[in-house]
Amino acid sequence: MNKKQQRYRIVNLDRDGLPSHIEIPAPKFEHDWTNYPSSNADEVISRAKGADILVVNKVSVNAAILEACPTVKHVAVCATGYNIIDIAACESRGISVSNIPSYAATTVSEHVIASALVLRREINRYRQAVINGKWQNSPAFCLFDKPFLNLRGATMGLIGLGEIGEATAKHAKALGMTVLFSSRSQRSHDFAKQVDLDQLLSQSDVVSIHCSLNETSKGLIGERQLALLPRHAILINTARGGIVDEQAVVDAIHNESIAGIAFDVLEQEPPIENSPLLSISHQPHVLITPHISWASEQAMQYLANTLTRNIEEFAAGAPTNLVTTS
């Protein structure tokens, strides 16, 4: 029996990584598909045993799991990031791994721009003023008690310029912003100027983080880096929580050394009760959202469609969107 005729057993270890109304299309080959809403670490091996293809979103797949589940031939990550997978262990066993690039550029970049507008224009503060009745008691036709700023003419600084960073840069440029970026590799773009990180921080009105989380970037933005920001600057993070020292950010907000933050990611998710950033989430110049910048309806359906296409192409012997250690 050749590969195309084989009946594959597919196990999705955390189907709830996507909302139930987002349909994952069925692969167009013979298969049995089992969904688990979520899987704890001690449940993974028993559920994965006998599977040919594992689908994961946030469930880790390490060497011990692969050793205990020798039938696994492919791991399909239902996300862009694949740090949850031991790629070296997969490669040593001839197991391919696919991810889903290119699905979140529009949705995340729009979230960044929306966050910048909310904070620069003090929308939270003025909305609350209406709720509290301050406008209703104003002697004038408008209520104006806090200055706010345009995005046009301001400088957007991007830490990392992958696909999402580039989409954000183009949105910012279209709004009349000057765009700076820092990157580990030398790059040239007509819509953005490359500078080093310290220059970017000191010269930007809005800083948005778009680098991946790794040993180099963990804790990249700490007390020293925050001190470089102008007092009117805002910091936006839609990348990964561990890139930023959260307590240092809380201190900067308390000290009013930066004007505001918009974080869609925290170091621990879901956050613990005494999460530093949650302690300031009620403030009007602090915008904390629950890791949803990636999750527009269009982006999630594209992700689901691509997941199935990755699986079909693996089964056809021509896998794409592969990730490796190199």
pLDDT for 68-115, tens place per residue? 999 999 999 999 888 899 999 999 999 999 999 889 999 999 999 999
Instruction: Give the C-alpha separation, 76 to 74, whole Å.
Output: 6
Annotated catalytic residue 269: yes
Instruction: Give the full edge-to-edge strand order of the sheet including 178-182.
Output: 193-194, 178-182, 155-159, 206-209, 234-237, 260-263, 286-288
Q: What was the pLDDT predicted at 194?
A: 97
Q: What was the pLDDT predicted at 3?
A: 47
173-216 pLDDT, tens digit per residue, is 999 999 999 998 888 898 999 999 999 999 999 999 999 888 89
Contact 116, 206 (CB under 8 A): yes
15, 240, 267, 285: the catalytic one is 240
Angle at 148 between CA 171 and CA 177, to 5 degrees: 25
Annotated catalytic residue 291: yes
Q: What was the pLDDT predicted at 6?
A: 86
Q: What was the pLDDT predicted at 303?
A: 97
C-alpha neighbours within 13 Å on the C-beta side of residue 168: 35
Sign of the dihedral through C-alpha 16, 17, 21, 26: negative
Q: What was the pLDDT predicted at 274?
A: 87
Q: Quick count: other Cβ atoms within 10 Å of Cβ 38?
A: 13
Among 326, 274, 320, 323, smallest CA distance to 97 is for: 323
Q: Which helix (H) or strand (E) holds 214?
A: none
In the chain the domains, ranked by start, together with CATH numbers, are: 3-103+297-315 (3.40.50.720), 105-288 (3.40.50.720)
Among 32, 83, 36, 38, smallest CA distance to 53 is for: 32
30, 43, 269, 297: the catalytic one is 269
Q: What was the pLDDT predicted at 5?
A: 64
Burial of 242 by CB count in 10 Å (0-12 exposed, 13-18 middle, 19+ buried)?
Answer: middle
Contact 3, 52 (CB under 8 A): no
Question: Which DSSP string do the residues of 245-265 spell out, in sequence order?
Answer: -HHHHHHHHHTTSSSEEEES-
Q: Which residue ranges in the chain fall short of pLDDT 70?
A: 1-5
31, 121, 125, 291: the catalytic one is 291
Q: What was the pLDDT predicted at 1?
A: 40
Q: What was the pLDDT predicted at 124?
A: 95
